[in-house]
Structure 1
Amino acid sequence: MPMREQLYVAAAAYATWFASTLHHKDSISDWGSEKLAALISAALRRGGQALGIDSKMVLDGIEPEEFQRLRPVVMTILPHGAFMLGSLCLHLGRMRHDERVRPLRALAAGASVLLHIPGLRELLLLVGVRDANSATVDAAVTSGRSVVLNPGGVWEQVNTSHEREALYVQPSLGFIRLALRHGTPLLPMYGFGETQLWRTHGAFLKHRQWAAEHLRVGLPLVSGRLGTILPLALPYGHTLVVGKPIDVGPPNPSPSDADVQRVFELWSAEVHRIFDAHKHECLPPEVAAQGLTIEIRAARDASTSTEPPRSRL
């Protein structure tokens, strides 16, 4: 069979398989071989080392044996950074095979569009990423699986700066409401070095903010090594710090705004604690000196609506 025909057959076979397995993006079961997932995760970390990006995970304030008792938990991974590539490639795979956090049986919620890209979809499914829709996330927690969420989303992606550490939380505080509804602890994690993987640029920021606000599309403007898209070397490495779990109380199907605000303040305090404890070791001095800001975005219709913002989760 000529090469062109072989390519056509291979493409048709993959397209058929892709369509028949599209529903896997909403599955709460593990996908693929655990051994393969561990090999891919290790290969990604070795690739990071080859680029001058050493990575490690640190538990600060919790012992591994506590995770079995706590499960499920709602984990927040911060910050988003330009592409969240460091946390995705260097650390998410650990949730499946690292003996310290494996008992959490965590699945990560990711943008739906990423799970429709051939090749990337398989990688994401393998390391535990699923579609970030409310039905899938709720089903995961209900089944006893932990979930990993990024509260900042595309707005934080667009506003990321390599010169400072800032978190932009959605006004719905959906991750807080999710934890309250299920009565599951919140577990903050901070990825030091994520925002320094690329140099960020402020050109067309207003236009990119408009796209993030109205189209929910993140358009970061960055440059990397030698002006390319390759990430920069990190002298301080990429360190994922797992903080202390935050008890939110028993399940609360309809949490009040006061309930949400109370837990948000506890969460913010723990994020600041782990940031302050590790910033000097894990960040450039000029970035660490500025500290961390956490901002709740104003709701789009805040000037016209009297209803509280609805949770995206």
Structure 2
Amino acid sequence: MEILGVKFAPLNESLERKLQELIVAIWIIIFVCGCFGGCLITIYLLLYTKTIRYILLLYFLWMYYDWDTCSRGGRSEFWTKWTKNNAFWRYFCNYFPLKLLKTVDLDPKESYLFIGVPHGIFSVGIFGSFATDVLKCKETFPGLEIRLIILSQHFKVPFLREYFHSLGACSSSLKSIKYLLSTPPKNPHTGRIIVLVVGGAAEMMESMPGTYRVIIKRRKGFVRLALKYGTALVPVLSFGETDLYNQIYSPEGSTFRRIQNYIRNFVGLPPVVFSGRGFFQYSFGLIPKRLPVTVVVGSPVEMPKIEEPTSEEINKYHNEFINHLIKFFNTQKHNYIKNAENVTLELL
């Protein structure tokens, strides 16, 4: 039913679908308001409670003791197994739905740096595929420990940090990534996958339906690290990611883009004006559109181990990976994109 241009959801929509919408909405709220909410709850408990404030002081001691966990491999599987497999994430993944596919088998005794593109607004596909185990990523890549890299700021906020720790995520700091690349995983794992969305928060501003814009031309640090530790680079494409939200797009050089970049440099995240759908209508809202997202893992690009790679060596292997990424996109896009012949991978 459509009234004044607003398309409303049917009244007889199933409880299953409503629960999926609720779970996805909760996930979005945590991402959008988690930092502010964690700080607000902390201030309230500290200033306006009599007993809980002392428990909170003990929690601060725990935070101090646990501060570097996000930079030293994250929580062990003992603490993350249940949270990565519970019903919350099943509803989350089934909402779109999300799918995880691989094109080749990976050696379980090696380590890999997965380079996920595009970021989209919230990296829904990458998060659902690798921060949870609902899509059977452990079965898909047996023997490999999987660590998703997210913004370091999330691990500095009380309570919010525990949410991301519970999913086995790690900090995006250089110290954290170096640790993961240089340290062998604990039993029963024999190898490791580090999942990095290389475009980061800046790529949020490039997300538009029907487009695949990737900020990678000037991002060469991941190649430097891959060469330093001899870690293979693996392209990961999240088809459908950019279709989940509309956005008021501002090109480079515009006043709004300059404001976005300034705020992103200050707080780590840009202010993006986006719209998906709501609980009872499909025309606008914070909830992403109910569209399929398929995450496809490509074949690895082997990297030689060079302790101190030169600029020429970094550029050489950076170009090699980009060419591999473009070829991978062009061979896979016809399986997941309508009118694929008109869609290209735009490298920025």
Q: TM-score, normalised by structure 2?
A: 0.72
**% identical aligned pairs:** 20
Following superposition, the deviation at residue 13 of structure 1 comes to 4.7
**Structure 2 residue 202 is the aligned partner of structure 1 residue 149:** no
The answer to whether the Cα contact below 8 Å between 1:34 and 1:96 also exists between their aligned partners in 2 is: no
> Partner residue of 1:231?
288
Aligned pairs for 1:158-169 within 5 A? 158-169=205-216
> Partner residue of 2:187?
none
**Structure 2 residue 65 is the aligned partner of structure 1 residue 20:** yes
The answer to whether the Cα contact below 8 Å between 1:34 and 1:97 also exists between their aligned partners in 2 is: no
Aligned pairs for 1:188-207 within 5 A? 188-202=235-249, 204-207=256-259
> Partner residue of 1:77?
116
**Structure 2 residue 114 is the aligned partner of structure 1 residue 59:** no
* Cα distance in 1, alignment partners of residues 160 and 243 from structure 2: 23
**Aligned partner (choices 270, 279, 289) of residue 342 of structure 2:** 289
The answer to whether the Cα contact below 8 Å between 2:72 and 2:179 also exists between their aligned partners in 1 is: no
Following superposition, the deviation at residue 54 of structure 1 comes to 0.7
Q: Counterpart of 2:111 in 1: which secondary structure?
A: coil
* Cα distance in 1, alignment partners of residues 139 and 199 from structure 2: 28
**Aligned partner (choices 267, 273, 281) of residue 327 of structure 2:** 273
> Partner residue of 2:164?
124
**Aligned residue identity for 2:128:** C
**Aligned partner (choices 69, 93, 96) of residue 132 of structure 2:** 93
**Aligned residue identity for 2:115:** T
* Cα distance in 2, alignment partners of residues 96 and 132 from structure 1: 24
Q: Counterpart of 1:107 in 2: which secondary structure?
A: strand
Q: Gaps (5+ residues) in structure 1?
A: 296-313
**Aligned residue identity for 2:168:** G
Q: Counterpart of 2:181 in 1: which secondary structure?
A: helix
- The change in CA–CA distance for 1:153 and 1:113 in structure 2 (over 3 A counts) is same
Following superposition, the deviation at residue 168 of structure 1 comes to 0.6
Structure 1 residues 21-30 or 171-180, which shifts more?
Answer: 21-30
* Cα distance in 2, alignment partners of residues 201 and 271 from structure 1: 28
Q: Counterpart of 1:171 in 2: which secondary structure?
A: coil
The answer to whether the Cα contact below 8 Å between 1:74 and 1:185 also exists between their aligned partners in 2 is: yes
Following superposition, the deviation at residue 6 of structure 1 comes to 5.6
Q: Which has the larger radius of gyration?
A: 2
Q: Gaps (5+ residues) in structure 2?
A: 1-47, 185-191, 251-255, 279-283
- The change in CA–CA distance for 1:101 and 1:30 in structure 2 (over 3 A counts) is farther
**Aligned residue identity for 1:198:** Y
> Partner residue of 1:179?
226
**Structure 2 residue 91 is the aligned partner of structure 1 residue 46:** yes
Following superposition, the deviation at residue 241 of structure 1 comes to 0.6
> Partner residue of 1:33?
79
**Aligned residue identity for 2:84:** A
> Partner residue of 1:114?
154
* Cα distance in 2, alignment partners of residues 162 and 211 from structure 1: 24
- The change in CA–CA distance for 1:140 and 1:189 in structure 2 (over 3 A counts) is same
* Cα distance in 2, alignment partners of residues 128 and 165 from structure 1: 28
**Aligned residue identity for 1:39:** N
What RMSD, in angstroms, separates the aligned Cα atoms of the two structures?
2.7
Following superposition, the deviation at residue 278 of structure 1 comes to 2.8
* Cα distance in 2, alignment partners of residues 57 and 137 from structure 1: 24
* Cα distance in 1, alignment partners of residues 90 and 327 from structure 2: 27
Q: Counterpart of 2:108 in 1: which secondary structure?
A: helix
**Structure 2 residue 298 is the aligned partner of structure 1 residue 258:** no
Following superposition, the deviation at residue 59 of structure 1 comes to 0.6
Q: Counterpart of 1:270 in 2: which secondary structure?
A: helix
Q: Counterpart of 1:230 in 2: which secondary structure?
A: coil
Q: TM-score, normalised by structure 1?
A: 0.79
* Cα distance in 2, alignment partners of residues 136 and 211 from structure 1: 24
